[in-house]
Structure 1
Amino acid sequence: MTRLTIGAFSRLSRLSAKALRRYDELGLLPPARVDPFSGYRYYDGSQVERARLVAWLRRIGMPLAGVREVCDLYATEPAAAARAVRAYWDRVETETATRRDLALFLADQLARPEETTMTALPALTIRHAARTDQGRVRDTHQDSACATDGLLAVADGYGTEGAPAGAAAIAALKELDTAPGAGPRAGDLLNALEDAVQRANTTIGGLEDSGTTLTAMVWTGGRLALVHIGDSRAYLLRGGGLFRITHDHTVVQSMIDAGTLTEEEAASHPQRAILLRALDGTAEAARPDLRLHEARAGDRYLLCSDGLFTTVPEGTVRRVLTGTADPDGAADALMALAQEAGAPDNIACVVADVIPADPDTVS
């Protein structure tokens, strides 16, 4: 078989000689032969395809660990390699969207520095309702919900101490639930949220074999700062349309993103409850999504655990949220529908309306 020098192989593969030496050291792309006297590297022509794949994957920014996985899959199961690339790019787009929202927020704040503090009385406020229920099947109740004038949150705990895990996550966020003007500047709020989540994760690390999801929104008087990890969800009802504003961190969602599973198939998939991210005491899994939402008068938000959205169809949720006048009535109606559907899991939900601030509160 014809041997190629590192220079010739570099030209064919579109990888620099420096990169080839690095990938040899990592075991990702070892040469076919190394001269024992000169140390020259020689490659087979059959290695060009793998090398070009490495080059393409690096160009899209895939980490080396992912490159190795895709290359190894491609050698035996090309369809699985394709799914892995799609899943990686879906994660990139999700993370880019989050960074885009933050960049736009920062640009807006830099353009209006006089408005970055929260000393002014907000023009909008929220009214809210929270409900939880054990359901009809579970022996324990591990869902938590919180709704105050400054904090909306649901947590779905799991494991032997799931209830304390969920409670710890919400308790950490309550430190940010302050009176208007007393909390952090809007520009600091995402940092404060991330710090609170990490404190909660540290606490949860002391609980045996347990963790929790967390979906929460902190009210700043004109914006809602969202923190989300796991498979609880947040929805926004605006202009008659219902929009899901969180992305599930689950195995089945990654399969949906990769195009290998439909939403309908996911509902009955045996791995539908397996989380890719959660607060479980480890740094690897505790990576929340953080973003800011501009609030509008008339908006209605729903935060809920999977005990609600897996039993009540989204069209029915939209009908209830659209047709019920106040958050208490909407929350009661949604909980009743989950019960009628058999309530196989714990249920938690929070409904909140964005409304004009009461003029009488202005002083």
Structure 2
Amino acid sequence: MEWLTIGAFARACRLSPKALRLYDELELLRPARVDAATGYRYYTPVQLEQARLVAWLRRLGMPLARIRTVCALPPAAAADEIRAYWAQVEAETAVRRDLAAFLVDELAATPRKDTTVLELRYSAHSDPGLVRPANQDTAHAGARLLAIADGYGPAGAPASSAAVAALRFLDTADLPAGNVLNLLADAVHGATEAVRDVAAGTDENGTTLTALLWTGSRLALVHIGDSRAYLLRGGALFRITHDHTVVQSLIDEGRLTAEEAGTHPQRALLLKALTTGTPDLKLHDAEPGDRYLLCSDGLSGVVPDTTIRDLLTTAAAPDTAVHSLVDAANTAGGPDNVSCVVADVVETAARPAAS
């Protein structure tokens, strides 16, 4: 049998001897033989393929523990695991990219000197649907805070109510001159603790949370779970949240189409909820004429996006829009609680400063 010293093996696979010793200690890439007298490590050419795989995965930034998992899988399953890892990286990178773009805009922006201001006009409506015995959704619309929470488990209704109640102080709080995301993140931490108190230490009870905080020119978004936020701008509908569900992860990995996801048996299975994961935080610049929709999956699960867009486009006011959307969900069978919040960004004349 051909033996390669650790130095020769390191050169062949482009891993340093130091890295090889670390991977040996972690049982990630064990040498084929260790000399009992000298302690020298020896490898075989057959191990080069696994060593190169480890090197490539390290270049991707994959943690060592996950590399160990990949290396133990057969090729097809290993490919699926790498695909899932990269989908997660891209999703996390997108969140950081949005935050970086906000910081660049915030630092480079020229103060506005016009005589108009923007404000929200809003409405919320929640309905138990036609099948569920109780409503576990909570919806809130205020001058600054828009929020939807969809509870689950025996204490789902108290959980969603506690989450939204913990955020309601934002309607009247003084917003910081700096990054409003910090304020929102702190508020969400309080909401998480409130839900934990209601859930009594069990993951059986919990809630999703999707909320927007109005700053006067921007909307700060927090999102976790499968409730959604949409933006209607210029007649086009954009989804500005990403579902934290099993089926969405399968779509991201290319293992499921959006059409197949609609009938998947695990379509309601969450990957993250308020007490079991880290929420997404983003900032959105607002423009006059924008219309925002927050909704629970009782709407998005049964009403197509094309119909949602049409109803949002034709409704004259937020109050008309939320009732039309809830009616559409119930017309489609109303299998779940359905809640909607609609808010319009409108221009108003600035009030003159007091002399």
1:171-190 to 2 correspondences below 5 Å: 171-178=165-172, 182-185=174-177, 187-190=178-181
Match of 2:297 in 1: 306
Unaligned 5+ runs, structure 1: none
2:205 to 198, 210, 216: 210
Runs of 4+ residues deviating >6 angstroms: none
Do the aligned residues in 2 keep the contact of 1:226 with 1:290 (CA within 8 Å)? yes
Match of 2:103 in 1: 106
Match of 2:157 in 1: 163
Q: Residue 275 in 1 paired to residue 270 in 2?
A: yes
1:255-270 to 2 correspondences below 5 Å: 255-270=250-265
Q: Deviations over 1:86-132 (max 9, x none)?
A: 222222222222212211222222235978xxxx9981001111111
Give, in whole Å, the separation in 2 of the partners of 1:140 and 1:30. 57
Give, in whole Å, the separation in 2 of the partners of 1:198 and 1:40. 52
Give, in whole Å, the separation in 1 of the partners of 2:50 and 2:166. 48
Do the aligned residues in 2 keep the contact of 1:177 with 1:183 (CA within 8 Å)? no
Give, in whole Å, the separation in 2 of the partners of 1:361 and 1:229. 40
Give, in whole Å, the separation in 2 of the partners of 1:28 and 1:140. 51
Give, in whole Å, the separation in 1 of the partners of 2:172 and 2:45. 66
What residue identity is the alignment partner of 1:292? L
Q: Residue 38 in 1 paired to residue 29 in 2?
A: no
Q: 1:10 to 1:267 in 2, by over 3 A?
A: same
| Shift of residue 140, structure 1, vs aligned partner | 2.5
**Percent identity over paired residues:** 61
Match of 1:234 in 2: 229
Do the aligned residues in 2 keep the contact of 1:130 with 1:331 (CA within 8 Å)? yes
Secondary structure at the aligned position of 1:66 is classed as helix
Give, in whole Å, the separation in 1 of the partners of 2:331 and 2:33. 69
Do the aligned residues in 1 keep the contact of 2:233 with 2:291 (CA within 8 Å)? yes
Q: 1:92 to 1:148 in 2, by over 3 A?
A: same
2:79 to 66, 77, 82: 82
Match of 2:286 in 1: 295
Give, in whole Å, the separation in 1 of the partners of 2:169 and 2:254. 40
Give, in whole Å, the separation in 2 of the partners of 1:37 and 1:170. 67
1:327 to 313, 318, 332: 318
Do the aligned residues in 2 keep the contact of 1:172 with 1:196 (CA within 8 Å)? yes
Using structure 2 for the length normalisation, give the TM-score.
0.93
Do the aligned residues in 2 keep the contact of 1:166 with 1:212 (CA within 8 Å)? yes
Give, in whole Å, the separation in 2 of the partners of 1:113 and 1:191. 22
What residue identity is the alignment partner of 2:325? L
Give, in whole Å, the separation in 1 of the partners of 2:116 and 2:212. 16
Unaligned 5+ runs, structure 2: none
Give, in whole Å, the separation in 1 of the partners of 2:272 and 2:123. 27
Comparing 287-296 and 25-34, the one that deviates more: 25-34
Q: Residue 68 in 1 paired to residue 59 in 2?
A: no
| Alignment RMSD | 1.9
Give, in whole Å, the separation in 2 of the partners of 1:243 and 1:338. 19
Match of 1:129 in 2: 123
Secondary structure at the aligned position of 2:271 is classed as coil
Match of 2:346 in 1: 355
Do the aligned residues in 2 keep the contact of 1:250 with 1:273 (CA within 8 Å)? yes
Using structure 1 for the length normalisation, give the TM-score.
0.91
What residue identity is the alignment partner of 2:172? T
Q: 1:121 to 1:162 in 2, by over 3 A?
A: farther
What residue identity is the alignment partner of 1:306? D
Comparing 308-317 and 59-68, the one that deviates more: 59-68
Do the aligned residues in 1 keep the contact of 2:116 with 2:349 (CA within 8 Å)? no
| Shift of residue 342, structure 1, vs aligned partner | 0.8
